[in-house]
Structure 1
Amino acid sequence: MKVQRIHHVAYRCRDARETVEWYRKHLNMEFVLAIAEDRVPSTKAPDPYMHLFMDAGNGNVLAFFEIPNSPPMGRDPSTPDWVQHIAFKVDGDESVLVEAKARLEAAGIEVVGITDHTIFKSIYFRDPNGHRLELVVDTATPEQSKMLDDVKWEMLEEWSRTKRAPKQAAWMHEKELAA
C-alpha cells in the first residue's frame, strides 16, 4: 500500500454556516459537500453532526464537524498554542502575503507576520473557531532544499538521542536570532 494523498483533514467548528462563509470569504475556498447524520457511522453512537467539506485546492479537502451535543470546543492545554495549525501554500511571492495580510486585517482579523523562514515566508491568523492558519509562499532555492535534504536523517537521529535542537539547519533562522 502507498498513500496517494490526504483525502481530507477534519477539525471541529462551532458553527457550520459561519465556518463555510468565513472560508469562502477570506480564503476563497469552495464549499463542496455536506453530510449530516444522527448517528456516527463508525461507532453507531447517537450524536447528531454536520460534516462539511471545503476545497483547499489540488484535491486537498479541509473538513469540519459541528457537533452541538458535545461540550464547548477547547484546546489541549499541554500543547502550546502555536503548534497545531493548518498551513496553506499560495502561489506568488511576498506581495501575495502583503495583500492577504491587509485584506484580513481590514476585516478585523489579527495577523502575525510576515515571518521569514528562509525557505518560505508566511503569515498567521485564526479562523472563527480559533484554529491557527498559515499562508505560505515558498522561497527555497534548489541549493537550500538540497542542504536540508542532506541533513534530515542526521538531525532526526541527533534529536532522538539528545532532545536538543540540532544545529545543521540553524542557518535558516540565524539572521532573526541576531536581530
Structure 2
Amino acid sequence: MTAPFALSRIHHVAYRCKDAKQTVEWYEKVLGMTYTSAFSEDHVPSTGAYDPYMHVFLDCGGGNVLAFFELPQQPEMGRDTNTPEWVQHIAFEVPDMDALLAAKAHIEGLGIDVLGPTFHGIFRSIYFFDPNGHRVELACNIGKPEHYEELKRVAPLMLDEWSRTKKAPRHADWLHKDPDAG
C-alpha cells in the first residue's frame, strides 16, 4: 500500500547523551560536524511533562542532522542489555576508501579504538564508540550497479526465507567473499 504523502528526507535522528557540551565537542572534533542549534525547555512540548532537557543539533552534511538530548532529571543513561552493542549504531557515509582510511587514522590519532575496515560486500566500514557509548560506523560504498540490482532482486526472497526459517538465507553469498582477503 502506498502512503497518501511523500517523505522528503530524515529531518533528524535523536539519541540521548550524558553531557550535551561534551557530545557536541566530540562530534565536531572527531567527525567534523557543525553544531547548528539547540532547544532547551523545562517542560516537554509534546506532552507538557516537567522534564528539563537540552536538545542539540549537529549538521552531518548532505542535509542530514544528528541530534542529542541531555536529560539530567532522568535515571542515568544506559543501553538495552538484551541487544548486542554492535546492533544499535549510527552510520555515516564517506566518499571512498581513501577517506575511510584517513578517518581511521584521524580517529585512532585521537586515542579512540577503531575496528575495521570490515568488508560488507557492497561497502567497507570502520566502527568506534562515542563518549555516550553509542556505536558509530563510517562506511564507503564499493558496490557496482549490478551488485545493487542483484541485492534488490533477492531482497524479497531473503526476507521470505528468513521469516520461515530464522536462518541466514544464502541468496547473496557473493557478499561475503572479500576480494582483498588474499
Match of 2:112 in 1: 109
Q: Does 1:150 align with 2:153?
A: yes
Partners of 1:155 and 1:118 in 2: CA distance:
16
Aligned residues with identical type, % of pairs: 58
Partner-residue secondary structure (3-state), 2:80? coil
Partner-residue secondary structure (3-state), 2:24? helix
Within the candidate set 7, 10, 25, 1:6 is matched to 10
Question: Runs of 5+ in structure 2 lacking a partner?
Answer: none
Partners of 1:99 and 1:29 in 2: CA distance:
16
The CA deviation string for residues 26-53 of structure 1, in whole angstroms up to 9 with x for no partner, is: 1111011100000011111101000000
Q: How far off its partner does 1:113 sit?
A: 0.2
Partner-residue secondary structure (3-state), 1:56? strand
Question: Runs of 5+ in structure 1 lacking a partner?
Answer: none
Partners of 2:27 and 2:91 in 1: CA distance:
14
Kindly tell me the number of residue pairs found equivalent between the two proteins: 177
Q: Where does 1:4-153 land on structure 2 (aligned, <5 Å)?
A: 4-91=8-95, 93-153=96-156
Partner-residue secondary structure (3-state), 2:61? coil
Structure 1 consecutive aligned stretches of length 4 or more whose deviation exceeds 6 Å:
none
The CA deviation string for residues 86-144 of structure 1, in whole angstroms up to 9 with x for no partner, is: 100111x2221111111111111000001111200110011111100000110000111
The CA deviation string for residues 48-93 of structure 1, in whole angstroms up to 9 with x for no partner, is: 00000000111111000000111111111111110000100111x2
Q: Does 1:160 align with 2:163?
A: yes
Q: TM-score, normalised by structure 2?
A: 0.93
| Structure 2 letter corresponding to 1:125 | F
Partners of 2:178 and 2:128 in 1: CA distance:
24
Q: How far off its partner does 1:13 sit?
A: 0.5
C-alpha RMSD of the superposition: 1.4
Partner-residue secondary structure (3-state), 2:27? helix
